[in-house]
A = this chain, B = another copy of it.
Amino acid sequence: MSETKTNLQIDSARLWRDIHDTAKFGGTPKGGVKRLTLSEEDRQVRDWFRDACEAAGCEVHVDALGTMFAIRKGRDMSKAPVGLGSHLDTQPTGGKFDGMLGTLAALEVVRTLNDAGIETDAPLCIVNWTNEEGSRFAPAMMASASYAGEYTPEDILSRRDAEGVSVAQALKAIGYDGSEPVGQRKFSAFVELHIEQGPLLEAEHKTIGVVDRGQGIVWYNGEIHGFAAHAGTTPMPLRRDALAALSEVVLTVERIAKENGPDAVGTLGETVIENPSRNVIAGDLTFTAEFRSPSSKTLDLLDSEFQKAVGDIAKRRRVEIKLDRFWRKEPSVFDPRLVEAVQKASDTLGYASRRITSGAGHDACNLNAVMPAAMIFVPCKDGVSHNELEDATQADCAAGANVLLHTVLSLAG
């Protein structure tokens, strides 16, 4: 890395301003963001992003799943571009940084190179992956998974949200049903900057997390069918209470995750009772559950223990419990050469760093299956994410963007 390049820094104030400007699309009273994928708010931020990339001299393409690719030309256009970016959708009560930081930092990297008049050998490509969060359509990270060949685009396009709207319909509705075939555009590597969404970096006063692994995930959809009966006249011993059965399932998920800790986590995040009434015993309900671990073996263990425990609860309480393990993502191990490039960029810039496992799923974890991928983490306040209180400092965001800049420069030449 030459002197000039080492001294090259992104514009911290410009990046910070972009983060807060885009937070207005779907901004909530509590200072968070509600921008579900392919919603009207998502359309607004996508339009803003396309305009900004074009203003930075990029050519923007959209694929059949709505993923946006902004190309910055390189000296040698025969070379595959270096990919950098993240996502612009959020959770129902999300924050300003999850996804946004990585996508806007990628834009900032391009702007910085423009300002410095630096042309890279290989082209660069800023990417905004569709539906990373997975809270409107399952599975999460569906676009990058489909790009990596895990699902056919047709399968993904047919997935429906709670209102029965399909991905295809939602894409058309906001005008992002692109023409480019999914997975056609190749990269030499992909680098994603993201907030940690966990407490480690902050606790250890580290600025940069050099991500070398991503946790594996299993997702379940469940149903419990007991018997709806009168709350006043049905003696306790005769009841088949679906909500009481669910309560045991919730506490079982918690117990199994703790027993397989410290890395394993388990969550039962959603449940909906059918036709609830305060004086009717819950008869039927649906729920979702998940487990995560950096070890495939532990995932197997969590899954088998859970399946067995659920069977016992159903038998003892005389209810039917359906458990559909509809998605499993294996733990990812990032490309050592790329992880080393991130480490070197961070060291060169003099930031305190540590190797870290990603607790969350990320598009980079999917892409790692088909190209060298890596991630850069920066601390977030109290490790809080997927919450309107999600927060990070301007200095840490800038540090992450600088590591992204120098990692990309080392890759693109």
Contact = CB atoms under 8 A, between A and B. Distances in A.
Given A232-B217, A387-B227, A281 B269 contact: yes
A251 B247 contact: yes
Contacts of A283: 93, 387
A233 interface: yes
Contacts of A254: 236, 241, 244
A172 interface: no
A236 B277 CA distance: 32
Query: Interface range on chain A: under 10, 10 to 19, 20 to 34, or 35 or more?
Result: 35 or more
A270 B277 contact: yes
A134 B230 CA distance: 13
A384 interface: yes
Interface residues of chain A: helix, strand, loop or mixed (majority): loop
Contacts of A227: 384, 387
Given A232-B215, A280-B91, A273 B275 contact: no
Interface string A9-34: 00000000000000000000000000
Given A247-B250, A268-B243, A359 B277 contact: no
Contact of A246 (B247, B275, B281, B282): B247
B235 A244 contact: no
A174 to B, nearest CB: 21
A385 interface: yes
Nearest to A257: B236
Question: Which of A251, A265, A277 gathers most chain B CB within 10 Å?
Answer: A277
A297 interface: no
12 contacts: A91-B277, A93-B275, A135-B279, A197-B232, A198-B230, A229-B384, A229-B387, A231-B290, A232-B265, A232-B292, A271-B276, A277-B386
Interface of A: 91-93, 133-135, 138, 140, 196-199, 215, 217, 219, 227-238, 241, 243-244, 246-248, 250-251, 254, 257-258, 261-262, 264-273, 275-283, 288-290, 292, 359-361, 383-387
